[in-house]
Amino acid sequence: MRYRAYQRYKSSRIEWLGDVPEHWQTPPLYTRYSVELGKMLNEGRITGTYLLRYLRNIDIQWDKIDSSDLPEMDIAPSERERFTIKTNDLLVCEGGEVGRAAIVSKAAEGLGYQKALHRMRPLNSDELPRYMFYTLYAASQRGVFLAEGNPNTIPHLTGENLRRYRLPRPPAPEQIAIANFLDHEAVKIDLLVAKKRELIERLKEKRTTLISRAVTRGLPAEAARAEGVDPHPKLKPSGVEWIGEVPAHWTLCKLSRVTISRCDGPFGSGLKSEHYSDEGVRVIRLQNIRFASFDDTDQVFIEPEYYRDLGDHTVLPSDILIAGLGDENNPVGRACVAPRTLGPAMVKADCFRFRLDTGRAHPPYLALHLSATALTLAGALSTGTTRGRMNLSATADRIVALPPVPEQRHISSYLEQETARIGQMEARVEQAIQHLLEFRTAMITAAVTGKIDVRGQTRDNTRQPASIS
């Protein structure tokens, strides 16, 4: 997509801005906006006399203010003007993702704000906060507000630094034109991104449904015929709510019946983060156990000498690893197969290792079956209010539905192929989302810095084309 450029440019003498339209200015921010850091909390000294709800850093996201559940602090009448916000103020994060900003709407007017936020208020009517919001966004994406910080410390955007930044200042009518253009174009991109994210959720649901059906009902008819398996087997009740009916020739038994050995990780203070080392015996933790897959990205180790003092918590290739603790996104009872590339390894507390009788249970199939049934099992067997939890004994008592081993292999092979296809589709959609977001940022940056002229007709391929890149 190409837009026309301005007729004439000049150097801004600001590295991230480069050249700007000849008639634009780049004055320091203090000539355009007042900048006021929020009130420091007086913890333990709240009188309750002048309580006012106040906003924190976490309540400010890009272009969004969450005022639904706010704490209170004392802001006396004499401090109200200084530490409260009005419609069209800009709130800018002082720490964390420095520079993250949102514009105050009528709904948030009158709230207080704490020291983690700067309040920017225009000094005259020639300043449009909406244009400044987009400028702050572009500057933040370019890392402008990080340039002053020490790379070895937590980033902070001080009021002194914010006031002296030189940001582009078009004439007021152009600020309005740019903001209107970006509001229109950014919304279109945001809608596209939202639709693609919905598609990813549908693909994930399709993957889960596919797995759940195959590990409780068997292969789809066409795939079953290809493998010489009855495509329409008779069904029987499993007697287990989270499994439902299964093919009549399948076996139902406790997990312990197809297990040679099992163990939990060391309890209590036996293994803590201070025991970790850069190499040695790999420690498998909850974050490594995903839905029927092993996540190898977060690696920690302990010294072999210390491992020997902990007892036998060994993990070997093809062992089943089961999570004894879950949360909203990762259900308790999910399972995966220990990879062959793991090397010397052990499980941590709340991670269970089951070594299977492979003559009765195929590890990849069982990991799929345990993960699929964990989605409904979690509520039935887990304990705990905020995070689902199961112990080793309850896990060993889980009922599993097992086809003959050759059929288990067929099912796991089929699911590997089909989920890989779904994964490839997810990856393509994720890539499309990334491209859209990159284009959105590039478009905003180009508009607020004057690399494209969006006044009047937004696209013009007949004169001085300037690409967004």
| Domain boundary assignment for the chain | 1-13+171-199+216-249+408-469, 27-167, 251-402
Could you tell me how far CA 442 lies from the centroid of its own chain?
22
Report how far residue 353's alpha carbon sits from residue 289's, in angstroms, rounded to the nearest whole number.
Answer: 11
pLDDT per residue as tens digits for the range 132-146? 999 999 999 999 998
Residue 46 has pLDDT above 70, yes or no: no
Q: Using the predicted structure, report yes or no on whether residue 457 has a pLDDT greater than 70.
A: no
Where does 414-468 show beta strands of DSSP type E?
465-467
Confidence band, pLDDT 50/70/90 cuts, at residue 212: very high
Token output for 388: 């689902």
User: Is residue 150 very low, low, confident or very high in pLDDT (cuts 50, 70, 90)?
Assistant: low
Q: E-assigned strands of 198-334?
A: 235-237, 245-247, 251-254, 259-263, 276-277, 281-284, 289-290, 293-294, 301-302, 314-315, 320-323
3 state SS of 9: strand
- What's the angle, vertex CA 285, arms to CA 203 and CA 262, rounded to 5? 100
* One-letter amino acid of 98: V
**pLDDT, tens digit, 9 for 90 and up, residues 54-101:** 999 999 999 999 999 899 988 888 888 899 999 999 999 998 889 999
Inform me whether the pLDDT recorded for 197 exceeds 70: yes
Residue matched to tokens 């195929």: 362
Q: Which CATH class is domain 251-402?
A: alpha beta
Go through the chain and tell me how many residues it has: 469
Average pLDDT of span 411-434: 97
CB 275 within 8 A of CB 268: no
Q: Token pair of 40, please? A: 């420091």
CA angle at 151 for the pair 150 and 152, rounded to the nearest 5° = 90
CA distance linking residue 362 with residue 278, whole number of Å: 33
Q: What is the pLDDT of residue 465?
A: 40
Q: How far apart are CA 275 and CA 272, in angstroms?
A: 6
Residue 196 to residue 194: CA distance in whole angstroms: 5
State whether residue 204 is helix, strand or coil. helix
User: Which two structure tokens, joined as six digits, stand for 142?
Assistant: 């370019």
Q: Given this chain, do its domains 27-167 and 251-402 carry the same CATH topology?
A: yes
Beta bridge partners of 246: 236
Average pLDDT, the chain: 90
Is the CB of residue 168 less than 8 Å from the CB of residue 132? no
Q: DSSP secondary structure string, 321-352?
A: EEESB--SSS-TT-EEEPPTT--SEEEPTTEE
Dist CA 217 CA 220 (whole Å): 8
Alpha-carbon distances of 5 from 228, 440, 444, rounded to whole Å: 66, 18, 14
Q: What superfamily would CATH give domain 27-167?
A: DNA methylase specificity domains (3.90.220.20)
Closest CA to 130 of 49, 186, 195: 186
